[in-house]
Structure formats: structure tokens, C-alpha cells
């Protein structure tokens, strides 16, 4: 236990040391909320990966790979595709963000559709939808602490210990805002995904060399994917990948990464770094878990496979390393969620209808982060049987932001009526379908509630775009907005009407 | 992204990314352990090839835009 807890404490000390050494006072709310738009491609890539791949994937998705096999590869596809989407929208989003000092995702909605009210709606959907995942992230630390204690802690005590650690860690997130999040993402990202990939590859080599495990030992049924005749429906896998692809940039904590870069070049560079690195990491994890599932000692323990196989390979030292990797991945994800929630509470909810000075906004964001942390920590320690259902439901709901977001960035004709009407209707349809079917919908060939609701959302958006064309002043404003992003280095020529 | 020939090439590649990753008949066909692709079962090979294909598209897009100084 000394080894596992000792390694975790060393890692925490390293992160805190780096944060203390890099602390800078914030001169504006943009400094606090988006780190002053100052980060290069490498920081951006690590920051994206550390928010995108939470620690839970070492438990839940490695467990899925061990239990169900190749279907666990589906996040590999949507994780890569979502970065392609980012590549396509990065120019407009960054230029608009920089020109208009946008700090949050709802800021972009407000700018594009010329409305304060849509900012409130988008923020509410973002904060509410993200909250169950924050609680789940803290609960996942329970599994981590159970293994760190060599299974001497019961699950309740392990969850409380994990939550306590994360609450302590949040002191620096609250204090330093986004700059602290991105800088710590670099440290955590190197540990979680670079060291993590090396460890995974090492485990694969160890299984092959010491235990004689080969890919050909994996049972054939582990390579079956849901298709025609499957109980989930032929389009179920499509729905999972499509939802993940569109949904990636709907999460406020992910979207805000588009504003922290120091330019479009850094955003695109981060895409070129994060796709191959993330793909190598995740593909290796799934292959390792599938191979490990053939070991007789692990066959009945899919969710424990990451910790158990590391302990088998290298004793408590490797178990400690495995725990530090999961801790690093968890901290990035939870930090990002808390930071985004605080920024939205200050900027998009409290500060939406009245002009507040920067100092007040930063205080509100800090209080919001502290409140979100404590509430999530308290709920994580409770018995909440419906929490996972709520988290799945929230995913189907939050992707309803995709239509007004992506079409708003790509298509001038979209308007406020379609954006709000489609988003709210889509959210309600997703909730109703999810409550009714709770998973793939039989009459929709396995499509999920979110995808069916997206269809409704899209229909409303497009019909409204043609039924209620822009008034001349609004058309000019939107034309100017798009024109701004068409021409390089046009900040100085931006028309005043946009301000 | 500018509408140069290189820009169009990348846009077509990105569209191909979406098709090969999301088109259901492709992953239906890839389901199962056989045939193998260099010893790797088809279902696994399919996902790995899709990831390599998409990674290459993003890398080529960035490299191309950097070369033509189309980034700010």
C-alpha cells in the first residue's frame, strides 16, 4: 500500500509544484476562463486528450473490450472523427472567439444568433448535462482507490477517499482557472497517454512473451459487431459513433479548448498531434484488454482488468503506476468539467443580463466551481442507482446543441427561431424517447433517442431557416460575421456592426 | 480552408473519412474474426485502418496548409 499511495502522492506533488511555479495573476475574465488564448499546439493536444479520455475508460471501456470484444473499438472511430470536425470549424470559431472575446460555448451561440436568451438555454443544457458525468467521474475514483489500497478499503470508503483527493486538487483549479487546467493537462496528459501507451504496449509484450497470449487466442465471438439481425438493431453502432462524433464538441469543457489556443494554426496542429496519439493509445488499450480477457485469472473480472493485469505483470509497483495513470486521466476530465461549469455560471447565467466587472465575474466563477465541486462530491458519496441512466440521458440531450452549433458555424441562413426551436424540441424528444425505450429504439432500427431527436431538431432548423428569412439588418450582420473569418488577418477591418 | 486544388483534395478526404467510418454496410461486412488482414481479424483490422486513414487525413491537411502558409 505504501508503494501505490506513495506513487500517487508523488504524482500529485508534481502536478501541484508545476501549478505553483506557473501561477500568473489574471488580468481579465478571458485570462481566467480561457487562459488568455495563449497555448500552442502541443498544450492544446494534451489538453484535448486529457479532457476527452477520462480515467473511467481504463475501467469501463477496457471492461467492455474484455467482456464484449471489438465493439469497444467504436470510440476509436468517433474520437478521430470529432477532431476532423474540429479541424473544419476551428478557423471561424477561433477568429470569432478572439475578435469578440468569447469565453464559453454559449457565447458563440449568442454571437451567431444575436440573442442573449440562447446563451442562457445553451448554458443550462451544458451545465445540467455535464453534472452527472462529474459525479460519475468522482465515483470512478472509488475503483481506483480500492485498488490503491490493495482492496482493503470497502467501496464507500474508497469513493470518499477519491472524492476528498479531488476536492483538494480543485483548490488549484478554482484559484488558477483555465491556465491552471491546461498546464496541468500537459503533465497529466504525458502521464496518462504517453506513459499510459508505453505501459499498455509493455503489458501486451509481457502477455505475449510470458503468458503466450496471442490475438488468435481471443474467442471468435469477440469480433462480432451489432449488425443485421442483432438484438440492438442494425444501426445501433452507427448511432453510437455518429452521436460521439457530433457530441464531442457539444460538451462545454471540450468546446472551450477552441478558445484557449493562441491561433488557428495551433488548433490545427493540435488535431494533427491528438488524432494519431489518441488513436494509438485507445487502440492499444482495447487490444490489451481483449488479450488479457483470455487469461484464466481475469476472465471473470472485466472491469478490473487494467489494474489486475498490471499487478500480475509487475506486482504492486506496476499496480501503483497503473493507478497513477488512471488518476492523471481522471483529474484532467474532472478539472475540465468543473472549470467549464464555473465559467458558464459566471459568464452565461449570472452575467448574462447585467454587465459585471471582471473581478466580480472571476469571484462568481470561483464560487460556482467550489459549489459544483462540493455538490458533486456530496452526491458521489450517496447511493444513486439512477445516476448512470441520467448520464446516458444527458448525452442524448446535449448533442441537440450540435445542430445550431455546427450549422450555425457553417451556414449563414440558420436563424434564432430554428436554433432555439430545434434545440429545445430535440432535447425534449430525446428525453421522452430515452425514458420510453432507454437504449436503442426498435422501430428506428437501433438508432438511439439522441439521433432520432437530432432528425427532428434538424428539420425544425432547416424549415425555420426558409420560413423566417433574416431581416436585412440581420443578414448584413451575419454576412459580416462570416466575412470576418474568410479573410486572414482581418481583425482591424471588422465592421462595427458586429461589436 | 481555401478552395485550392489541395483544399478540395483534403475536403474530399475528410468526406471519405466520414463514409468509411460511419457507413453501416462497411462495418457489417467487417464483423467477425474472418477473413484476417495480415493475421489481424477483420473487425479489428477495420477499426485500426479507419483510425490510420483519418489520422493521415488530418496530418496531410495540416502539413498542406502549413506548407502553403494558409494558417494564421
| A85-96 tens-digit pLDDT | 999 999 999 999
Residue B56 lies in a domain: yes
Segment A98-110 shows an average pLDDT of 93
Q: Give the three cell numbers for residue A239.
A: 448511432
Considering CB atoms only, which of B14, B27, B51 is closest to A88? B14
Segment A277-302 shows an average pLDDT of 94
Q: HSE on the CB side for A192, CA within 13 Å? A: 30
**With the C-alpha atoms ordered A369, A371, A374, A378, is the resulting torsion angle positive or negative?**
negative
Residue B40 lies in a domain: yes
Q: Give the three cell numbers for residue A298.
A: 481475469
DSSP character string of A119-137: HHHHHHHHHHHHHHHHHHH
pLDDT band at A386 (very low <50, low <70, confident <90, very high): low
CB of A274 within 8 A of CB of A83?
yes
All domains of chain A in start order, with CATH? 2-384 (1.20.1730.10), 386-468 (no CATH)
Question: What does the pLDDT read at residue A497?
Answer: 35
Q: Is the pLDDT of residue A496 over 70?
A: no
Residue B1 lies in a domain: no
- Domain total of chain B: 1
Residue A52 neighbours by CB distance under 10 Å:
25
Q: For chain A, what is the mean pLDDT?
A: 90
Residue B37: beta bridge partners? Answer: B40
Q: Find the range with the poorest average confidence among A408-412, B31-35, B59-63.
A: B31-35
Q: Is the pLDDT of residue A311 over 60?
A: yes
B44 and A235: CB-CB below 8 Å? no
B58 and A83: CB-CB below 8 Å? yes
CA distance A335 to A188: 11
CB of A453 within 8 A of CB of A396?
yes
Considering CB atoms only, which of A215, A276, A488 is closest to B55? A276
CA distance A178 to A338: 10
Q: Is the pLDDT of residue A138 over 60?
A: yes
Q: Give the three cell numbers for residue A221.
A: 465471438
Residue B4 lies in a domain: no
Segment A303-329 shows an average pLDDT of 95
Segment A177-203 shows an average pLDDT of 94
CA distance A198 to A191: 10
Q: Give the three cell numbers for residue A430.
A: 430525446
CA distance A214 to A424: 50
Segment A144-149 shows an average pLDDT of 90
Among chain B residues, CA nearest to A88: B1
Q: Does B66 touch chain A (CB under 8 A)?
A: yes
Segment A349-364 shows an average pLDDT of 88
Residue A261: beta bridge partners? Answer: A39
Residue B12 lies in a domain: no
Question: What does the pLDDT read at residue A325?
Answer: 96
pLDDT band at A276 (very low <50, low <70, confident <90, very high): very high
B39 and A263: CB-CB below 8 Å? no
Give, in degrees to the nearest 5, the angle at Cα A381 between A379 and A386: 55
CA distance A29 to A363: 10
Q: Find the range with the poorest average confidence among A7-16, A63-72, A111-120, A142-151.
A: A142-151
Question: What does the pLDDT read at residue A1?
Answer: 79
The percent of residues in chain B predicted with pLDDT above 90, rounded, is 65
Q: Is the peptide bond before A158 cis (omega within 30 degrees of 0)?
A: no
Give SS3 for A82.
Answer: helix
Residue B35 lies in a domain: yes
Question: What does the pLDDT read at residue A490?
Answer: 43
The packing angle between helices A358-380 and A117-148, to 10°, is: 50
Q: Does A269 touch chain B (CB under 8 A)?
A: yes
Segment A26-35 shows an average pLDDT of 83
Residue B39 lies in a domain: yes
CB of A373 within 8 A of CB of A345?
no
Domain span holding position B56? 23-72
CA distance B1 to A87: 9
Considering CB atoms only, which of B43, B57, B58 is closest to A223? B43
pLDDT band at A356 (very low <50, low <70, confident <90, very high): confident
How many angstroms separate the CA of residue A271 from the nearest CA in chain B? 7
Q: Does B25 touch chain A (CB under 8 A)?
A: no
pLDDT band at A464 (very low <50, low <70, confident <90, very high): very high
Residue B40: beta bridge partners? Answer: B37
Query: ipTM of this predicted complex?
Result: 0.93
Q: Is the pLDDT of residue A414 over 80?
A: yes
Which residues of chain A lie closer than 8 angstroms to B64, CB-CB?
Answer: none
pLDDT, one tens digit per residue, over A150-171 is 989 887 888 888 888 888 887 8
Q: Find the range with the poorest average confidence among A2-11, A71-80, B62-71.
A: B62-71
Among chain B residues, CA nearest to A246: B18
Give the residue with greater pLDDT, A476 vs A134: A476
Residue B28 lies in a domain: yes
Q: Does A268 touch chain B (CB under 8 A)?
A: yes
Amino acid at each position: 500500500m505504501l508503494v501505490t499511495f506513495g506513487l500517487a502522492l508523488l504524482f500529485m506533488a508534481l502536478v501541484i509544484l508545476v501549478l505553483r511555479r506557473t501561477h500568473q495573476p489574471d488580468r481579465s475574465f478571458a485570462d481566467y476562463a480561457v487562459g488568455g488564448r495563449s497555448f500552442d499546439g502541443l498544450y492544446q493536444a494534451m489538453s484535448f486528450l486529457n479532457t476527452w479520455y477520462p480515467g473511467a475508460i481504463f475501467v469501463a471501456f477496457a471492461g467492455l473490450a474484455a467482456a464484449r470484444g471489438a465493439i469497444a473499438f467504436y470510440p476509436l472511430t468517433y474520437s478521430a472523427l470529432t477532431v476532423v470536425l474540429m479541424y473544419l470549424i476551428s478557423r471561424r470559431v477561433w477568429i470569432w472567439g478572439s475578435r469578440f472575446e468569447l469565453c464559453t460555448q454559449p457565447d458563440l451561440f449568442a454571437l451567431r444568433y444575436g440573442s442573449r436568451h440562447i446563451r442562457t438555454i445553451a448554458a443550462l443544457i451544458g451545465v445540467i448535462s455535464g453534472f452527472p458525468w462529474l459525479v460519475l467521474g468522482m465515483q470512478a475514483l472509488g475503483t481506483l482507490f480500492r485498488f490503491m489500497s490493495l482492496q482493503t478499503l470497502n467501496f464507500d470508503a474508497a469513493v470518499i477517499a477519491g472524492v476528498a483527493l479531488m476536492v483538494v486538487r480543485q483548490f488549484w483549479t478554482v484559484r488558477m482557472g483555465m491556465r491552471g487546467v491546461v498546464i496541468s493537462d500537459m503533465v497529466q496528459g504525458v502521464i496518462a497517454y504517453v506513459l499510459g501507451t508505453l505501459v499498455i504496449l509493455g503489458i501486451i509484450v509481457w502477455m505475449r512473451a510470458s503468458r503466450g497470449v496471442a490475438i488468435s487466442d481471443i474467442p471468435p465471438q469477440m469480433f462480432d459487431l451489432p449488425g443485421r439481425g442483432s438484438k440492438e438493431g442494425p444501426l445501433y453502432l452507427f448511432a453510437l459513433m455518429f452521436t460521439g462524433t457530433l457530441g464531442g464538441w457539444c460538451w462545454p469543457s471540450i468546446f472551450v479548448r477552441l478558445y484557449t489556443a493562441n491561433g488557428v494554426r495551433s488548433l490545427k496542429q493540435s488535431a494533427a498531434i491528438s488524432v494519431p496519439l489518441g488513436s494509438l493509445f485507445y487502440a492499444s488499450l482495447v487490444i490489451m484488454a481483449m488479450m488479457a480477457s483470455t487469461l484464466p485469472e481475469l476472465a471473470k473480472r472485466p472491469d478490473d482488468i487494467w489494474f489486475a493485469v498490471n499487478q500480475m505483470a509487475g506486482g504492486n509497483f506496476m499496480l501503483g503506476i497503473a493507478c497513477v495513470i488512471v488518476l492523471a486521466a481522471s483529474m484532467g476530465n474532472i478539472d475540465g468539467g468543473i472549470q467549464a461549469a464555473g465559467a458558464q455560471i459566471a459568464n452565461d447565467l449570472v452575467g448574462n443580463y447585467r454587465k459585471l466587472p471582471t473581478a466580480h465575474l472571476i469571484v462568481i466563477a470561483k464560487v460556482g466551481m467550489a459549489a459544483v465541486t462540493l455538490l458533486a462530491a456530496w452526491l458521489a458519496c450517496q447511493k444513486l442507482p439512477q445516476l448512470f441512466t441520467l448520464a446516458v440521458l444527458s448525452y442524448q440531450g446535449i448533442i441537440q446543441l450540435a445542430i445550431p452549433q455546427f450549422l450555425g458555424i457553417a451556414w449563414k441562413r440558420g436563424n434564432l427561431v430554428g436554433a432555439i426551436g430545434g434545440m429545445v424540441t430535440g432535447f425534449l424528444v430525446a428525453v421522452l424517447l430515452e425514458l420510453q425505450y432507454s437504449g436503442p429504439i426498435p422501430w428506428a432500427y437501433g438508432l438511439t433517442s439522441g439521433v432520432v431527436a437530432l432528425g427532428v431538431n434538424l428539420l425544425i432548423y432547416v424549415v425555420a431557416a426558409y420560413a423566417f428569412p433574416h431581416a436585412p439588418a440581420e443578414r448584413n450582420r451575419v454576412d459580416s460575421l462570416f466575412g470576418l473569418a474568410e479573410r486572414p488577418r482581418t481583425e482591424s477591418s471588422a465592421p462595427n456592426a458586429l461589436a | 480552408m481555401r478552395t485550392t486544388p489541395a483544399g478540395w483534395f483534403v475536403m474530399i478526404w475528410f468526406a471519405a473519412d466520414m463514409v468509411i467510418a460511419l457507413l453501416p454496410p462497411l462495418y457489417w461486412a467487417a464483423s467477425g474474426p474472418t477473413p484476417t488482414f495480415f493475421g489481424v481479424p477483420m473487425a479489428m483490422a477495420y477499426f485500426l485502418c479507419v483510425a490510420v486513414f483519418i489520422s493521415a487525413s488530418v496530418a496531410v491537411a495540416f502539413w498542406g496548409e502549413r506548407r502553403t502558409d494558409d494558417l494564421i
